[in-house]
Structure 1
Amino acid sequence: MIYEDQSMSGIRTQAPAISEDTIKRLKEAVGPSGWSTDAEALDAHTVDWLGQFRGPSPLLMKPATTEEVAAIVSICAQTGTQIVPQGGNTSLMGGSVPFGTGNEIVINLSRMNKVRSVDPFNDTITVDAGCILASVQAEAEKIGRLFPLRLGAEGSCQIGGNIATNAGGTNVLRYGNTRDLVLGLEVVLSDGRVWNGLRGLRKDNTGYDLKQLFIGSEGTLGIITGAVLKLSPLPASVATAICAVSSLDAAVELLAYCKDRAGDLITAFELLPRTGIELVLKHFPVTRFPLAEIHDWHVLLELSSGANDSELARMMEELLTESFEADLVLDAAVAASGEQSKAFWLLREGLAEADVLEGASIHCDVAVPLSAIARFLQEATDEVERVCGGVRVVAFGHAGDGNIHFGIVQPVDSSAESFRAREHEISELVHGVAHRFHGTISAEHGLGRLKRDALRTYRDEVELDLMAAVKRTFDPSNIMNPGKLVNVGDDPRLPCFGDVA
């Protein structure tokens, strides 16, 4: 389903176009290298990564400095021009593309890609928001440190977008979400002022922790232009294994056992289903499965340590041996080299794309308490199969932190169009099951415009009112990514919550 120039409720609007004078002022604020009206360039920044949302914009801005961002926002605040902040445009929720009303400009931060400073003694790196995640990782490694945020899109996503969506990834179990990796921020506010909160402090009790409001705000409160990021020691050794487990309950028991025995040596604990593995092997011929046969459920387990390889290898061997004896693990393969470890991870990383290549698919990003993972997966699968026979469920992800990417691939004998037409119905089934287990409908992908209205079903009025109050306080004119995450004011494109009568 493509949402083009309209909301999910189908209400079209005819917002006033940006005046020629405003466009002229915006262009002058950044110079000839900082803007584009080229149709091809605009097209690349006005459709989301999954191709679900498209919204034309008359102007693409590419500022090179925080001062230029502030100048742009000041003009937009004066003229009521709406802003869609954008990083690598890898959002899965439609949060980084316009609605296409004619009154939205895109501010892409890709030119702001400098490393401002590195402090190995404080274990911090200060970067522009437009730095590619993989580049930040590489800069940290140059000084023998690790920036542990690890994502499938790390070669194209930008750190500002990672922060704005509170990205998760595969290392959350040990290092936490992006929220846990940010010490300070620089943000351009909705009136063009710049808040300089670039402090590399781990303890600071002087009032509200303002940076936490901007982390995960999806560009609705301000534009993140710089960040101080926390670094960790670079592991001296890594041990990676793929294990076939006897059941979903066994996978959860294995996690508990590994945490008891290995503690914070566990870097990742990822769940891999039979359906997903089979699709990866089908669509990515370069991949190889290391076990003798494919089982219903597998775990990709990774340990890392500052100790030498032999000590970590012995720990992994002991874990697996004792897990075999406890009937938790049926079979296992341990990577004998870094290349084999990468090959194991290719299987995991291919899961996110394999179901898309297979056909029309619906993706739910949910989280439940660890103790509820097995029951959630069973009940959600049963519910989906009950209402839509023949679907293939590809449920995988970060079992170590309770985040499950619940994918549903169309039945073989159905059309893509008819299946996509049921996206809302099927997603709501999965969300309802997650909610019954005290879970969430968005664990790491955010809300954007795809899940924004669903929030009203799963959060109480007090919480919704508080969120709307925060939005109004930081963005009283409603120009910062309006209609995403929350919707306030008189914008008729989508239903609002938290409005003051």
Structure 2
Amino acid sequence: MLTAAAAVEPYCSDWRGRYHGRARAVLRPGTVAEVAAVVAACSAAGVAVVPQGGNTGLCGGATPLADGAAVVVSLARLNRVRAVDGDNDTIEVEAGCTLAALQDAAAAADRLFPLALASQGSCMVGGNLSTNAGGVHVLRYGNMRELTLGLEVVLPDGRVWDGLRGLRKDNTGYDLKHLFIGAEGTLGIITAAVLKLFPRPRRRAVAWLAVADAGAAVALLGRLRATAGERLCAFELVGASALELVLRHIPGARPPLARPAPWSVLVELADADPAAALDEQLAAVLGAALEEGLIGDAALAASLSQAEALWALRENISEAQKIEGFSIKHDISVPVSRIPAFLAAADAALQERWAGVRIVAFGHLGDGNLHYNLSHAQGEDNSALLARSAEVNRIVHDLVASFGGSISAEHGIGQLKRGELPRYKSALELELMGRIKQALDPRGLMNPGKLL
């Protein structure tokens, strides 16, 4: 138990530095029994609980409120890999295990755990589950929800639900694990999970491509899906402004192509067959795309180090933006086919309202998820824009809704978008969510002020 102000403070601010709360104490249980005892004691005393993993969230979902009424329960000590079942292609890990440690444990068993995030060295499995994390390989493997077979959860009254089943078929009623995945700690504390493993890729082909617009990128995505099938595991879209920030702020970053392009695409093929001719397959598709004018230029990685350098350009966008300063961020999704129209409409609406605004757009085009962020290059202008965040959000989110999209694709709701939900979810959806919350946490002690 941490109570000294200096010890508690790091747990009370989010990664972006946007939210700053207070907590009565930080509790760091090391076993599931200790988590259950802590939650039971808090329930008996009527004290709210804020679950926290690696504290890398982007919506304030793991940050306590400013009233200082809650305790933070850190899962960092609950970090063991409990079991690997190679024949069943599953791994059982505790919630405080970092994503990188999970990936390493899978690799040690000659398997792949495919979730990949820029924060994987510090984000934890519990947080990944609580926000239904996505990342760059959703195109092939799905979100965290699709990667999860079973959960262990400490409920708001301190009881432990053991749903750690490594089954791909279990048709015995309500699939309770899906209540807790994406619930952002508002229904209970996830303490462990059984997750799917996959054959470890033996061959990779990575390329950075220049495209004129998002429409060309969507067309290329369709071409690659038709020719590469399941070998296509990542298809990332990067706007010129996003790449420029990385080249400006990240040491060692180098332009991937001789000339800048309005948009870039980072594509990766992978196969468990060490003899798979991925480079040749990708080169053939890109050669035809070049001849048709679908892409303007291409750089194919000739080595692992070159592939990692190309991926670093994509993975460091968020860090470069953080160095640049505050911006108004949106984590949105729309159907892949409608991404070009959304970008055109949103860009036009925002430029009309704030001429010269810098739009930093990038994301997982393969699954329809864009990070659509705004700022001005000049600090004085940027401060004025940030003061109008609500107006900016209304323009972007209303357009997202008009295109049949979601205002949160993979970062969650947290504190940031809690007030937005009533505008974009139906009254019935909100009623049903409220009923579930009331059934499991009738006193509202689990992560108050988040999501609902």
Report the TM range for the smaller structure's normalisation: over 0.9
Q: Structure 1's 450 and 361: CA in aligned 2 closer, same or farther, altered over 3 A?
A: same
Aligned partner of 1:425: which letter? Answer: E
Among candidates 308, 311, 329, match of residue 342 of structure 1: 308
| Aligned residue number for residue 146 of structure 2 | 180
CA contact (8 A) 1:238 1:309 kept: no
Aligned partner of 2:290: which letter? Answer: F
| Aligned residue number for residue 206 of structure 1 | 172
| Aligned residue number for residue 374 of structure 1 | 340
- Provide the C-alpha distance between the structure 1 equivalents of 2:26 and 2:195, rounded to a whole number of angstroms: 28
Aligned partner of 1:354: which letter? Answer: A
| Aligned residue number for residue 493 of structure 1 | none
Q: State the Cα distance separating 1:353 from its structure 2 match.
A: 2.2
Q: State the Cα distance separating 1:415 from its structure 2 match.
A: 4.4
| Aligned residue number for residue 491 of structure 1 | none
Greater displacement, 116-125 / 354-363: 354-363
CA contact (8 A) 1:268 1:400 kept: yes
Secondary structure of 2:418 counterpart = coil
After TM superposition, the score normalised by the length of structure 1 is: 0.89
Among candidates 186, 199, 204, match of residue 238 of structure 1: 204
Q: State the Cα distance separating 1:308 from its structure 2 match.
A: 2.8
Q: Cα deviation per residue 1:274-324 (whole Å; 9 max; x = unaligned)?
A: 111111111113011221101001100000002236611111111111211
Q: Structure 1's 411 and 313: CA in aligned 2 closer, same or farther, altered over 3 A?
A: closer
1:293 is the counterpart of 2:293: no
Percent identity of paired positions between Structure 1 and Structure 2 = 50
Aligned partner of 2:352: which letter? Answer: R
1:364 is the counterpart of 2:330: yes
Secondary structure of 1:361 counterpart = coil
1:149 is the counterpart of 2:115: yes
Secondary structure of 2:328 counterpart = strand
- Provide the C-alpha distance between the structure 1 equivalents of 2:361 and 2:85, rounded to a whole number of angstroms: 40
- Provide the C-alpha distance between the structure 2 equivalents of 1:444 and 1:434, rounded to a whole number of angstroms: 15
RMSD in angstroms over aligned alpha carbons? 1.1
Structure 2 counterparts to residues 83-482 of structure 1, below 5 A: 83-308=49-274, 311-412=277-378, 414-482=380-448
Secondary structure of 2:362 counterpart = strand
After TM superposition, the score normalised by the length of structure 2 is: 0.98
CA contact (8 A) 2:52 2:74 kept: yes
Aligned partner of 1:122: which letter? Answer: N
- Provide the C-alpha distance between the structure 2 equivalents of 1:481 and 1:312, rounded to a whole number of angstroms: 46
- Provide the C-alpha distance between the structure 1 equivalents of 2:115 and 2:61, rounded to a whole number of angstroms: 21
| Aligned residue number for residue 44 of structure 1 | 10
Secondary structure of 2:88 counterpart = coil
The number of aligned residues is 452
CA contact (8 A) 1:355 1:409 kept: no
Greater displacement, 345-354 / 459-468: 345-354
Secondary structure of 1:45 counterpart = helix
Q: Cα deviation per residue 1:196-223 (whole Å; 9 max; x = unaligned)?
A: 0000000000010000010000000000
- Provide the C-alpha distance between the structure 2 equivalents of 1:239 and 1:309, rounded to a whole number of angstroms: 13
Q: Cα deviation per residue 1:126-158 (whole Å; 9 max; x = unaligned)?
A: 011000000000000001100000001000000
Q: State the Cα distance separating 1:102 from its structure 2 match.
A: 2.9
- Provide the C-alpha distance between the structure 2 equivalents of 1:328 and 1:247, rounded to a whole number of angstroms: 9
- Provide the C-alpha distance between the structure 1 equivalents of 2:146 and 2:274, rounded to a whole number of angstroms: 27
Aligned partner of 1:318: which letter? Answer: A
| Aligned residue number for residue 53 of structure 1 | 19
Q: State the Cα distance separating 1:419 from its structure 2 match.
A: 2.5
- Provide the C-alpha distance between the structure 1 equivalents of 2:331 and 2:90, rounded to a whole number of angstroms: 30
Among candidates 41, 49, 52, match of residue 75 of structure 1: 41
- Provide the C-alpha distance between the structure 2 equivalents of 1:55 and 1:336, rounded to a whole number of angstroms: 48
CA contact (8 A) 1:280 1:350 kept: yes
- Which aligned runs of 4 or more in structure 1 are off by greater than 6 angstroms? none
Q: State the Cα distance separating 1:409 from its structure 2 match.
A: 1.8
CA contact (8 A) 1:434 1:440 kept: yes
Q: State the Cα distance separating 1:96 from its structure 2 match.
A: 0.3
Q: Structure 1's 36 and 307: CA in aligned 2 closer, same or farther, altered over 3 A?
A: same
Greater displacement, 277-286 / 337-346: 277-286
Q: Structure 1's 124 and 328: CA in aligned 2 closer, same or farther, altered over 3 A?
A: same
CA contact (8 A) 1:369 1:439 kept: yes
Secondary structure of 1:53 counterpart = coil
- Provide the C-alpha distance between the structure 2 equivalents of 1:465 and 1:104, rounded to a whole number of angstroms: 26
- Provide the C-alpha distance between the structure 2 equivalents of 1:450 and 1:384, rounded to a whole number of angstroms: 21
Aligned partner of 2:202: which letter? Answer: A
| Aligned residue number for residue 20 of structure 1 | none
Q: Cα deviation per residue 1:40-81 (whole Å; 9 max; x = unaligned)?
A: 221100001101111111200000001001001111111110
